[in-house]
Amino acid sequence: MGGTAAGLVGPQRVARNLDPSPTLESNRTCRTCGKTKPLDYRHYNQIPNGGFRWSCKRCRAANTREYHRRNPEKAQERTKRYNARKAAAGGSYTAADIRKIRTRLGDRCGYCGDPLHGGGEVEHMLPVLRGGTSNPDNLTLACRTCNGDKGSKTVEGFIAYLRKHGRPVRSDLWGGTTKP
Ligand SMILES: [Zn+2]
Ligand SMILES: [Zn+2]
């Protein structure tokens, strides 16, 4: 790799800093900022064994931002790659398309059902990095938490991920029951 600024670890390194075992604590003190926060998916990223990361979401996002700030060429490459894939996949949408999607979703996240209050993020159901287009039929609106956690997962993969972690899933769209 090379080019990593002293004292900072890249996103890949942070990703390996895993909680070794599922835990029953209800709060956790973030190892980075030292703040005690509820130990749930809104504050800490979950890992496959059901545990949570040691540092809170906010700190991890700040670490990634800082890493990209200090390694601008990596951030630029990433954006360039993403935009190239997006252009190659094609498709487009208008504000009217997004309004229609919002109405269909009842202004709630297309995955977990959290109210969007007119906000939310436009989400490619089949990710751009998997060849998903930007046509309205491949788009939904998602809350920030879902959009951030979905990453390059397929919809099926993400719904399975939410269920596995006992997180809410919209039963009107994805079947099953909505567990709060
Ligand atoms: Zn923190
Ligand atoms: Zn959501």
56 in the same domain as 17: yes
The tally of domains found in the chain comes to: 2
**Does 5 reside within a domain?**
no
Write out the DSSP string of 20-56.
Answer: SS----SEEE-TTT--EEE-STTTS-B-TTS-B-SS-
101 in the same domain as 66: no
How many angstroms is it from 8 CA to the middle of ligand 1? 15
Return the pLDDT at 51: 83
Return the pLDDT at 4: 38
Return the pLDDT at 175: 86
Return the pLDDT at 48: 73
Q: What is the number of the ligand closest to the CA of 147?
A: 2
Block means of pLDDT (10 residues each) for the chain, length 180 residues? 42 47 76 95 84 92 92 91 92 96 97 96 94 96 94 94 92 75
Return the pLDDT at 177: 64
For 172-180, the CB contacts below 8 A with 24+ separation are 173/110, 174/111, 178/113
How many angstroms is it from 93 CA to the middle of ligand 2? 21
How many angstroms is it from 46 CA to the middle of ligand 1? 15
Give the structural domain span for 20: 11-70
Q: What is the number of the ligand closest to the CA of 113?
A: 2
How many angstroms is it from 66 CA to the middle of ligand 1? 14
Return the pLDDT at 24: 64
Return the pLDDT at 46: 84
**Does 137 reside within a domain?**
yes
Q: What is the number of the ligand closest to the CA of 45?
A: 1
Global confidence as pTM: 0.75
**Does 141 reside within a domain?**
yes
* CATH number, domain with residue 137: 3.30.40.220
Asked if residues 107 and 119 have their Cβ atoms less than 8 Å apart, the reply is no
Return the pLDDT at 23: 56
